[in-house]
Structure 1
Amino acid sequence: MSLFWERLPEPVILLTIIFIIGICQQNVSTKELPTYVPICKRTDRNLNECFKKATMIIRPYITKGIPELQIPAIDPLMIPMVMLEQGTQAVNYKAKLRNLKVYGLRNYQFNDVKLDLNKLTIQGKITVPMISLESDYEIKGRALVVPIQGMGIFKANLTDVKSDIMIEVKVVKKRGDEYLEPKKINTKFTIGNAMANFDNLFNGDEKLSKATNSFLNGNSKDIVDEIKPAIETLIAMLAEDIGSKVFDSTPYSKLFPK
């Protein structure tokens, strides 16, 4: 079970994400890192710079997926289902996104990285110029003062996406070796601009759909602020999913040799 189910923010009543490959893996065996993955020694005085450089070197590989580590492609990132339910005074809704495709993650950039292997923490500032989303949707609820209901195709563009991530790990012994394991992950993010479109709102009422989408986009900053807890939890769960697969397949001594 993901550690995030224990700490969902109060406004987020429910956030369920079903991955193609679940966070918990069964029968995982120790694997050698692919030769193209850079190795940063834990004694390196320039460890932060080494790790930052490594994130760029592996970017084209993680974009397509790394089968050896059971990591699926991140561009597009495919998520079969996301279910959201939130209740606040400003935003109250139930939504289901199916076959969610996330485009643009291949252009991620780590602007700052800080590794402290004594405290077992990893901090990073990540930017992505633009992220595009597309999925089938079902939604019913209210955003600010406007009711929203329908099912169809959802599309959105997010620009200047920035995320601060803090990962705490712990060392665990298994399979006769030491491995890292995510202990706690916190994320904060900002978006420069967001534009979205829900087609077929209100049973295909074109006039009402157009007015609702226009209102949502005109107030996108306020709406994004309201649903931030859900999005930040989603980012953290994705980070845990990828991190868990890397950590669980490769011993600490091979990830960061002395």
Structure 2
Amino acid sequence: DYFPRCSIDDPNLNNCLLKAFNTVRPYVKKGVEEIGILPFEPLVLPTFNLSQENLAVNYTLTAWNFTIRGIDNYNVKEINYNPQTLTFSAKMKFDALPFYSMYEVSGRLLHIPLEGKGFVSTTFLGPINATIRIEGELVEVDGVEYYNTTNIKVTEIIKDMEITVEGLFEGDEELGRITNHLLNLFSAEIMQAVTPALEQLAEEMLMRFMKSFTGSIPIEGKGFLSAAFLEPINTTIRIQGELVEVDGVEYYNTTNIKVTESIKDMEITIEGLFEGDEKLGKLHTAEELEKSDYKAKDTNSETEGSDQDEDEAKYEN
């Protein structure tokens, strides 16, 4: 009810997925409690840890009540799905992403020492470009196949940021002012250095979303069929067997089964017929066929009525 269905055999699958991403935007923003999708506007993370140790940066950060806005305001520029490898890839673009959080940090960014605990407000400046690759597998639950995400790789291009950090160096105002000045002066270089950690955080966030999103939506093949065999249904079953002895104990071994069924009628609905042609799909009774503009053309003049070869029936408009 929430999301459009896309058949993996649809030749226009990528266009369907692109439409689906735009359709889910309001649900991404507000969340869908019934299927476990949390609101993304704003997106609030109770707590997380980030750490890096290399020549450019060396720090440990703990954040809580992390709140970021604007994630729902995305633009999907390209999306592709490979049904053979079950792999999605997408190119997305975001405007500026502001966020704020409580934090505790120890270490350095470039040559700038950081030590403190307090409040941080940051804006990643747009445009922000992201490439996302999602790998998965099909799992069956109660006879229905679902897409299970197994790996996510995110690549981000964030060119610059604006940042204000409170509570540095036990509240030393002068050191705090100088540090904030340096953080913004070298913001582009810092942004480049910490991007790998942000990509990892994005992968964890996206994995949580994909687990709730795809875990609630069945994967469809070439179409969807629902049918009901109408009562009464009479069945005769004939089972033949033989006795076999195992360790001195005789067992009944079934050798043949014959089932005869009497099903007089049914009701059926099929989606995805004739590559999605809605008009042809509706012609499911002889009466509707006669009323339509479509005519059955007999390609064999010697064949008529119920003996007509269905493979030779042609529909013309």
TM class by shorter chain equals 0.7 to 0.9
- Within the alignment, does 1:137 sit opposite 2:103 as a pair? yes
- Within the alignment, does 1:228 sit opposite 2:195 as a pair? yes
State whether residues 159 and 192 of structure 2, in contact with CA within 8 Å, keep that contact through their aligned partners in structure 1: no
Show the counterpart of 1:147. 113
Deviation (angstroms), 1:85: 2.2
Show the counterpart of 2:306. none
Which SS does the other structure have where 1:179 is aligned? Answer: strand
Show the counterpart of 1:124. 90
Which SS does the other structure have where 2:5 is aligned? Answer: coil
Show the counterpart of 2:58. 92
Show the counterpart of 2:292. none
| Residue of structure 2 aligned with 1:175, choices 142, 147, 154 | 142
| Residue of structure 1 aligned with 2:206, choices 239, 247, 250 | 239
Q: Deviations over 1:45-93 (max 9, x none)?
A: 2211111111112101210001122010001001000112221122111
- Within the alignment, does 1:207 sit opposite 2:174 as a pair? yes
Q: Deviations over 1:153-193 (max 9, x none)?
A: 11100121111001111112233322211122111001132
State whether residues 73 and 94 of structure 2, in contact with CA within 8 Å, keep that contact through their aligned partners in structure 1: yes
Deviation (angstroms), 1:110: 0.6
**Highest CA radius of gyration, 1 or 2?**
2
Q: Deviations over 1:201-245 (max 9, x none)?
A: 112222211111111111122212222221111111111111111
- Distance in 1, matches of 2:12 and 2:176, equals 54
The residue identity in structure 1 corresponding to 2:144 is D
The residue identity in structure 1 corresponding to 2:54 is T
| Residue of structure 1 aligned with 2:164, choices 197, 208, 214 | 197
- Distance in 1, matches of 2:60 and 2:7, equals 47
Q: Deviations over 1:84-130 (max 9, x none)?
A: 22211221111111100011112111111111112211100111101
Show the counterpart of 1:248. 215
- Within the alignment, does 1:219 sit opposite 2:186 as a pair? yes
- Distance in 2, matches of 1:137 and 1:76, equals 18
The residue identity in structure 1 corresponding to 2:10 is D
Change (3 A) 1:229 1:156: same
Identity of aligned residues (%): 31
- Distance in 2, matches of 1:216 and 1:196, equals 7
Deviation (angstroms), 1:144: 1.2
State whether residues 158 and 195 of structure 2, in contact with CA within 8 Å, keep that contact through their aligned partners in structure 1: no
- Distance in 2, matches of 1:247 and 1:111, equals 21
Show the counterpart of 1:40. 6
- Within the alignment, does 1:56 sit opposite 2:22 as a pair? yes
Change (3 A) 1:89 1:238: same
The residue identity in structure 1 corresponding to 2:64 is R
State whether residues 87 and 135 of structure 2, in contact with CA within 8 Å, keep that contact through their aligned partners in structure 1: yes
The residue identity in structure 1 corresponding to 2:66 is L
Show the counterpart of 2:75. 109
Q: Which runs of 5+ in 1 are unaligned?
A: 1-34
The residue identity in structure 1 corresponding to 2:113 is P
Deviation (angstroms), 1:251: 2.4
Show the counterpart of 2:263. none
| Residue of structure 2 aligned with 1:157, choices 123, 126, 129 | 123
Which SS does the other structure have where 2:6 is aligned? Answer: coil
User: Is the deviation greater in 163-172 or in 176-185?
Assistant: 176-185
Which SS does the other structure have where 1:44 is aligned? Answer: coil
Which stretches of structure 1, 4 residues or more, deviate above 3 A after TM superposition?
none
User: Is the deviation greater in 142-151 or in 35-44?
Assistant: 35-44
| Residue of structure 1 aligned with 2:153, choices 186, 198, 215 | 186
Give RMSD over aligned pairs: 1.8
